[in-house]
Chain A
Amino acid sequence: MINYIIRRILYAIPILIGVNLLTFALFFVVNTPDNMARIHLGVKHVTPEAIAKWKHERGYDKPLMWNSAAQGAKQASDTIFFEKSVAMFAFDFGRSDEGRDIAHDIKTRMWPSLAIALPVFMVGLAVNITFAMLMAFFRATYIDLSGVVLCVAMMSISGLFYIIGGQFLVSKLLHLTPISGFDAGSNALKFIILPVVIGVVGGIGSGARWYRTIFLEEASRDYVRTARAKGLSELSVLFGHVLKNAMIPILTGAVVVIPLLFMGSLISESFFGIPGLGSYTIDAINAQDFAIVRAMVFLGSVLYIVGLILTDISYTLVDPRIRLE
Chain B
Amino acid sequence: MMLFKPVLLWTDMLLWLLLAGVAFYVWRVRQREHLLQPWRRLLRSRSGVASAVVLLAFVAVGVLDSLHFRLPLEKQGNGAETHYSPEVLSVFDLTVGPLRKQVEKTYSSPFAAQLYTKETIELPGGKQVRDYPRLKFGGAHLREPARELAGDVAVTALQGSVYAFVLCGGLTVVLAIWLGRRRGISPGAAWTMVLQGRDEIPWRTLLATIGLLVLFVCLATAFSAKYHIFGTDKVGQDVFYLALKSIRTGLMIGTLTTLVMLPFALLLGIMAGYFRGWVDDVIQYAYTTLSSIPGVLLIAAAVLILQVYMDSNQELFDTVAARADIRLLFLCVILGITSWTGLCRLLRGETLKIREMEFIQAATAFGVGHFRIIARHILPNVMHIVLISIVLDFSALVLAEAVLSYVGVGVDPAMQSWGNMINGARLEMAREPMVWWSLLAAFVFMFVLVLSANLFSDRVRDAFDPRVR
Contacts and interface: CB of A to CB of B under 8 A. Distances in A.
Interface of A: 14-15, 18-19, 22-23, 26-27, 30-31, 35-36, 38-39, 43, 152-153, 155-161, 164, 168, 260, 263, 266-267, 281-282, 285-286, 288, 290, 293-294, 296-297, 300-301, 304-305
B292 A158 contact: no
A35 B300 contact: no
Contacts of B422: 158, 160-161, 164
B312 A43 contact: yes
A263 to B, nearest CB: 7
Interface residues of B, number: 42
Given A152-B455, A160-B422, A267-B406, 4 more contacts: A26-B302, A160-B406, A288-B304, A293-B300
A76 B405 CA distance: 40
Nearest to B300: A285
**Shortest beta-carbon contacts, A-B, top 7:** A18-B289, A300-B294, A156-B451, A156-B450, A31-B305, A301-B292, A35-B308
Contacts of B409: 285
Interface stretch (B162-170, B171-179, B205-213, B439-447): B439-447
B311 A297 contact: no
B408 A158 contact: no
Interface string B404-419: 0011110000000000
Nearest to B312: A35
Contacts of A160: 402-403, 406, 422
Contact of A161 (B300, B308, B443, B455): B443
Contact of A19 (B289, B308, B443, B451): B289
A159 B403 contact: yes
B447 A157 contact: yes
B408 A285 contact: yes
B35 interface: no
Nearest to B298: A297
B25 to A, nearest CB: 26
A168 to B, nearest CB: 7
Contact of A22 (B293, B308, B443, B458): B293
B425 interface: yes
Given A27-B301, A304-B292, A304-B294, A282 B447 contact: no
Contact of A15 (B289, B302, B305): B289
B8 interface: no
Nearest to B408: A286
A285 B407 contact: yes
B414 to A, nearest CB: 17
19 contacts: A31-B309, A35-B308, A35-B309, A36-B308, A43-B311, A156-B454, A168-B429, A266-B407, A285-B304, A285-B407, A288-B304, A293-B301, A294-B301, A297-B294, A297-B301, A300-B297, A301-B292, A301-B293, A304-B292
B454 A152 contact: yes
A296 B293 CA distance: 10
B71 interface: no
A26 B454 CA distance: 35
Contacts of B399: 158-159
Nearest to A26: B301
B447 A297 contact: no
B360 interface: no
Interface in B84-142: none
Nearest to B449: A156
Give the interface centre of B297, B429, B446 by most chain A CB atoms within 10 Å. Answer: B297
Interface string B433-469: 0000001000100110011001100100000000000
A180 to B, nearest CB: 11
B37 interface: no
Give the interface centre of B293, B304, B408 by most chain A CB atoms within 10 Å. Answer: B304
A41 B403 CA distance: 28
B391 to A, nearest CB: 14
Contacts of A164: 422, 425-426, 429, 439
Give the interface centre of B285, B294, B311, B447 by most chain A CB atoms within 10 Å. Answer: B294
Contact of B451 (A35, A153, A300): A153
B395 interface: yes
Contacts of B294: 260, 263, 296-297, 300-301, 304
B395 to A, nearest CB: 7
Given A152-B454, A158-B402, A158-B446, A281 B297 contact: yes
Nearest to A289: B304
A90 to B, nearest CB: 19
Nearest to A293: B301
B277 to A, nearest CB: 18
Contacts of A18: 285-286, 289
Contacts of B297: 281, 293, 296-297, 300
B296 interface: yes
Contact of A156 (B395, B402, B429): B395
B288 A15 contact: yes
Contacts of A159: 399, 403
Interface string B249-261: 0000000000000
